Structure 1
Amino acid sequence: MRLTQLRLLIVFSLGYFISYLFRGVNLGFAPFLIHDLGLSPADLGTLTSLYFLGFAGAQIPVGVLLDRFGARRVTACVMLIAAAGALAFSRADDLGAMMVGRFLIGVGVSACLGGAFKATAQHFAVGQLTFVNGIVMAAGGMGGVAVGAPLSWLLSVTGWRSVGTGIAVLTAAAAAAIWVGAPSKQEAHPHTSLIDQFKGTWHVLSSRAFWKLGAFSGLTQSVFYAMQSLWVGPYLRDVALAGVPGAAARAATLVSVLGAAFIAGNLGFGALARALERRGVSVYLSSGVTMLSFVVVQAMIAARVPLPETVLWAAYGALGGMGILTYAVLAEHFPARLLGRVNTSFTLVIFLAIFALQVAIGAALGRWPMHDGHYASAAHRTVWAVLVAMQVAAAIWYFAPKGRVRAAEAAADVKA
């Protein structure tokens, strides 16, 4: 790996770490927000999901900007919005102001993933992308580790507002690192009009191949991130560890285990997918098998299969992000000039689904009465059963041979 490529990986991985940290930080903040502001489950779900709404809403314009101005400039500049949002969130005194701050955070980190994948696609060979993108995702997964036991410890020694301010400063520093440290690359079509570029986004979203490749992946990822960033903690405390002494501390530890396994999974399965591809097994197939395995693990957790919690949640984390391999599949089948819009369109779908799921899960849990700050076990079990059923339906379409559309043929129809 050349020095330029290594530098690119470091700074964009830092950016995605920040994005992931913001994604799950309310998991640790939740008890304090409930205590300080008296939030209901629906309020908490809506507040947390505004990150995903802001992230999703910015994806189409960010995709156009990435293809027009490049990953370095767009990612660095947009991340400053996240820094401002984090400051607003940490200083807010009411729910409305916090919602604004949380939304701005989502907008501000909206380029971190698409920008990273745009940059890696430009500076690495296609055959390296499953592994390289796995490294980026693994770095982001460190944020999932950080919002477990480390954040729990930090909140025991300082207030959540101080933590939020510190993350804002870290975000501004990461933006500066990307601006200074990331290599630039001249875009192939700098004079294409913005209208034509938006048309390219529409062609991507209207492509049946895009949905055939991405629907199962998008759903598994949205379920994983919706749960990991907020609802895994309550499930562990209220169901999996109900009645266990020190359940809250044990739940925080398992969240970190989940995050660490996510890192290992992205590195290990990304390398495995590349190795299998050399032996004739498509990334499409290997990705599908790992995503289906993730659904099986969810069913085992929901069914309370008598296995050690550490094993189950490590498997959950290791397999939960495997839909990320779909980005490499899309990169193979869509023109290079569209990769910014393809990546951000796919991310848009995922994050809109996360937003909807977090709000819906909060509303569903709120339909059962709470007891001593805990949600009803029946509410959690119902949510998990519905989510598993949805993913099974998506898996059937993913693997069904009938009506399969060749992505390369569909991509050839994209003109912008």
Structure 2
Amino acid sequence: MPIMIRLFIPFALGYWLSYVFRVINAVVAPNIMQELGIDSASLGFISSAYFLTFAACQIPLGILLDRYQTRHVAPVLLLFAAAGSLTFALANSSTLLWIGRGLIGMGVSACLMAAFKSYATWLKTEQLPLINGLQLACGGLGALTATAPAEWALQHSDWRTLFILLALASLLIAALLYSCIPLTPRNHTDIRLPTLLRQTLAVIRTPAFYQLAPASMLSQSVFIATQSLWAGIWLQRVNQLSASDAAQMLLVSALGMMAGFLGLGGIASRLNRFGIGTQSISFCGMAGFLLVLLWIQLHPGRADTLAWAAFGFFGTSGTLMFAGLAQQFPAAISARVSTSLNLGIFLGAFIVQWGMGAIIARWPSANGVDYSAEAYRTALGCATALQALSLAWYLICRWRPSQLSNADST
């Protein structure tokens, strides 16, 4: 079997699973709220546990992937996802739901970064854009699976059965990763853990990182937090769609996300030939995402299929910053650069998703489940403000160096 196929199949399935776990709460949340009597603040906290543990794993994960075998790290972590999915399926309290969701986030934390690390190790440089784009597109397939297909499954079963099946899928994919991923030739350079941690902190303190990364972090945080939970409830409460129609709209958004993963990389490659940098292309895409957020909020009645397709498409534009940042650091610490950015993204997603739930819960509700449309508008409006601030930070950081260089030349 060609090495590209041997690597791609298990990693694609792993990232597909990661996105199913990430997005499925947008469909099953109303069922969980009704069955267990959970309010919006608790729901936001439970769902965001995935992002908290996912973020907490990123710095250790970068060190593990740079130092140990991907074949060992990724499958072991997926065992935690299986345990978490089973815990979530059997939970009868908010605490157990939170623990299960947290274990899931920990378990799938390596699904993308481990793939990028293995592709960079085993494949030729010219193969990476294609394989990375296909890998990200499989995340879009996972998001698609967690929309209308998940809603269809709920009509024939319940959310607990879905999570039991996902636990079994986690075990199968872990076994596939272990059997398919080749062992990497060992690097005999023994770098001590304190040195690795200092190198990681040095990455975060580098101007190239803290000037470029926040825009991507907050843009992706808002996109992920909204898409994975609040978008589905928004469509039902604000747009007054049925559960099945809301799931269909989320499916459209997932298709837009797949198109973004596949299309934006190709667009960036073509524009790079004309001297237009990847960071500038990413910024334009994130600005487009901001406009789509405003469209959805200011004109919800006219935010139809096109708006939600654009939400998915432009919501992926922050991922282009991964390529822009990776080019500015040595290959030996590439995993730690990517995982440091991922840390910020998923820590931000945890805060945004939980914060939106807390804002919604400030409005009165007769049953602790149904809130007014104004509550959801306010919560999404606050998230949109964060998106705008992140773009302002990027512009300020790009403007100041040019001002300083002009001053030096006079």
Q: Does 1:380 align with 2:380?
A: no
Amino acid at match of 2:392: I
For 2:218 and 2:374, locate their aligned partners in 1 and report how far apart those are by CA, in whole Å: 23
2:321 is equivalent to residue 322 of structure 1? no
CA distance in 2, matches of 1:109, 1:187: 25
Gapped runs of 5+ residues in structure 1? 406-416
Give the equivalent residue in structure 2 for 1:103: 102
The yes-or-no answer on 1:357 pairing with 2:356 is no
Deviations 1:323-363 (A, max 9, x none): 11111112211111111111111111111101111111001
Corresponding residue of 2:399: 402
Greater shift, 187-196 or 198-207, is seen at 187-196
Asked if 1:301 is matched to 2:300, the reply is: no
State the partner residue of 2:176: 177
Secondary structure at the counterpart of residue 279 of structure 1: coil
Of residues 275, 278, 299, the one that matches 1:283 is: 278
Aligned twin of 1:413: none
Which deviates the most, 167-176 or 384-393?
384-393
Shift, 1:223, TM fit? 0.3
Q: Provide the rounded CA distance (Å) in 2 between the counterparts of 1:350 and 1:364.
A: 21
How far did residue 128 of structure 1 move? 5.2
Quick one: structure 1 residues 152 and 283, their matched pair in 2 at CA, closer, same or farther if it must change by over 3 Å? same
Query: Separation in 2 of the partners of 1:84 and 1:21?
Result: 16
Whether 1:160 and 2:155 are equivalent positions in the alignment is no
Alpha carbons 2:78, 2:171 under 8 Å: kept: yes
The change in CA–CA distance for 1:280 and 1:132 in structure 2 (over 3 A counts) is farther
Secondary structure in structure 2 of the residue aligned to 1:185 = coil
**2:222–2:384 contact (8 Å) kept in structure 1:** no
1:165/1:190 CA distance change after superposition, 3 Å: farther
RMSD, aligned α-carbons:
1.9
1:34-66 deviations in whole A, cap 9, x for unaligned?
122110111111111111111111111111100
Closer/same/farther in 2, CA of residues 31 and 305 from structure 1, 3 Å limit = closer
Partner of residue 6, structure 1: 5
Match of 1:50 in 2: 49
Q: In 2, Cα distance between the equivalents of 1:204 and 1:306?
A: 45
Q: Deviations over 1:335-393 (max 9, x none)?
A: 11111111111111111101111111001001112367432111222222222222222
Q: 1:361 to 1:343 in 2, by over 3 A?
A: same
Of stretches 304-313 and 38-47 in structure 1, the one that deviates more from structure 2 is 304-313
Partner of 1:369, secondary structure, is coil
Note the alpha carbon deviations across 1:78-125, whole angstroms, 9 max, x for none. Answer: 111111111111112222222211111111111112212222233345
User: SS at the partner of 1:47?
Assistant: helix
Match of residue 70 from structure 1: 69
Alignment partner of 1:369 is 2:364: yes
The question of whether the paired residues in 1 share the 8 Å contact of 2:257 and 2:315 is answered with yes
User: Equivalent residue for 2:387?
Assistant: 391
Distance 1:171 1:274 in 2: 34
Q: CA deviation at 1:203?
A: 1.0
Query: What's the offset of the Cα at 1:186?
Result: 2.8
User: Residues 204 and 342 of structure 1 are in contact (CA less than 8 Å); yes or no, is this contact kept in structure 2?
Assistant: yes
Q: Partners in 2 of 1:58 and 1:331 — Cα distance?
A: 20
Aligned-pair identity (%): 38
Does the 8 A contact of 1:134 with 1:266 survive in 2?
Answer: yes
Residue 257, structure 1, aligned to residue 256, structure 2: no
Superposed, which structure 2 residues align to 1:54-133 within 5 Å? 54-125=53-124, 129-133=128-132
Q: Which runs of 5+ in 2 are unaligned?
A: 403-410
C-alpha change, 1:399 and 1:190, in structure 2 (3 Å) is same
Instruction: Please report how far the alpha carbon of residue 189 of structure 1 lies from its aligned counterpart in structure 2 after TM superposition.
Output: 5.9
Give the residue type in structure 2 aligned to 1:343.
S
- Return the offset for 1:71: 2.6
Deviation at 1:277, TM superposition (A): 1.5
